[in-house]
């Protein structure tokens, strides 16, 4: 049973083998596997946020097994299918995991790891209530196909140094002005306060300013 959703159903196209048309009897198992993979991906998109690791104390985090729709066995797959290679390039009108480039097949194990890392990690993505497919595709392209930030080791150390400096400065303020009302770094979530500071912390140092020298023959105006 496919998970609930408000969007129009996803259609899968199965290409016919070269040299002849595909018979209904021969294509039926392949179509069922194709739609099972689509339903599995859709289940993580709809209900993956329910088991996201959002509690740092792990007091209210739910286990993956608490949502049967997230188990690949629900869709007829077995452990023997984990290392089988599947092709998701035949799904139309959907971005993200269901729009991989042609010639990029992947195993069920790799697909499950990518789905769990995206929807069941430390960020919960809940957007399938949006009825616009265009908006959902916009989110999927930036959530499912995101590439790691190309930060160099020097840049990472610079960001770490600025974070450590901010934490130490916050501790100093807490001891120096322990009776004054203030907001710590964890409360400064407004973009106009955090984003400029982060940009200044990670920006390269400005070029040195050259000292101004008066001309040899100074003529006052």
Q: Phi/psi zone of residue 49: left (φ > 0), alpha (ψ -120 to 50 degrees), beta?
A: alpha
The pLDDT value given to residue 18: 40
Contact 46, 5 (CB under 8 A): yes
Place of tokens 């957007």: 127
Q: Distance between CA 15 and CA 18 in Å, rounded?
A: 9
User: pLDDT per residue over 22-57, tens digit each?
Assistant: 444 447 887 888 889 889 999 999 999 999 999 888
Domains in the chain with CATH codes: 24-143 (1.10.287.1150), 153-202 (no CATH)
For the whole prediction, is pTM greater than 0.75?
no
The pLDDT value given to residue 115: 92
Sign (positive/negative) of CA torsion 41, 43, 46, 49?
A: negative
User: pLDDT per residue over 146-185, tens digit each?
Assistant: 776 678 889 889 989 998 998 888 888 888 888 877 766 6
What average pLDDT is seen over the chain? 76
Kindly state the average pLDDT of the residues 46-71.
Answer: 90
């Amino acid at each position: 049973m496919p998970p609930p959703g408000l969007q129009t159903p996803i259609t899968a196209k199965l290409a016919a083998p070269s040299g002849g048309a595909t018979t209904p009897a021969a294509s039926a198992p392949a179509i069922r596997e194709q739609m099972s993979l689509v339903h599995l991906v859709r289940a993580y998109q709809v209900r993956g946020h329910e088991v996201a690791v959002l509690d740092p104390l792990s007091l209210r985090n739910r286990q993956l097994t608490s949502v049967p729709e997230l188990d690949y066995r629900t869709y007829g797959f077995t452990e023997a299918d984990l290392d089988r290679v599947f092709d998701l390039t035949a799904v139309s009108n959907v971005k993200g995991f269901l729009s991989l480039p042609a010639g990029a097949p992947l195993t069920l194990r790799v697909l499950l790891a990518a789905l769990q890392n995206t929807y069941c990690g430390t960020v919960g993505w809940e957007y399938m209530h949006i009825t616009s497919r265009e908006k959902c595709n916009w989110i999927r392209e930036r959530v499912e196909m995101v590439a790691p930030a190309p930060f160099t080791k020097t840049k990472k150390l610079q960001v770490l140094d600025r974070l450590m400096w901010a934490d130490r400065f916050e501790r100093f303020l807490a001891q120096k002005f322990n009776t004054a009302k203030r907001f710590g770094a964890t409360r400064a979530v407004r973009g106009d306060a955090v984003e400029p500071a982060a940009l200044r912390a990670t920006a390269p140092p400005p070029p040195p300013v050259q000292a101004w020298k008066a001309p040899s023959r100074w003529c006052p105006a």
